[in-house]
C-alpha cells in the first residue's frame, strides 16, 4: 500500500453523516462536527509525531562514552 492514508479520516468520518443513527447526532450539524472531529484527531496524531521525533533526535545527538 502506498500513499498518504492519514487523510482517510476526512473521508470516512463525514461519510457517516449519511447513515441512520449517526454518531454525530443531528444530520444538519453532522458534517461540521465530523470534520472537526477528524481534524482534531489528525492534529493529535501529528503533535504526537513531533514529540516523539524531538525525543528521538535529542537521544540521537548525545554521545555515548565508550
* 4/64 Cα distance (integer angstroms): 36
* The pLDDT of residue 4: 64
**Distance, CA of 54 to CA of 37 (rounded, Å):** 26
Domain extents in the chain: 5-62
Q: Please determine, for residue 28, whether its predicted confidence score (pLDDT) is greater than 60.
A: yes
What burial class does residue 35 get, using C-beta atoms within 10 Å of its C-beta: 0-12 exposed, 13-18 middle, 19+ buried? middle
User: Is residue 21 scored above 50 in pLDDT?
Assistant: yes
Please state, in angstroms and as integers, the Cα–Cα distance from residue 26 to each residue in 5, 11, 16, 34, 35, following that order: 28, 19, 12, 11, 14
Q: Is the pLDDT of residue 1 over 50?
A: no
The DSSP symbol for 2 reads -
Amino acid at each position: 500500500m502506498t500513499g498518504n492514508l492519514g487523510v482517510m479520516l476526512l473521508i470516512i468520518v463525514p461519510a457517516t453523516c449519511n447513515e441512520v443513527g449517526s454518531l454525530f447526532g443531528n444530520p444538519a450539524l453532522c458534517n461540521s462536527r465530523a470534520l472537526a472531529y477528524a481534524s482534531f484527531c489528525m492534529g493529535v496524531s501529528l503533535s504526537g509525531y513531533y514529540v516523539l521525533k524531538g525525543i528521538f533526535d535529542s537521544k540521537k545527538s548525545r554521545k555515548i562514552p565508550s
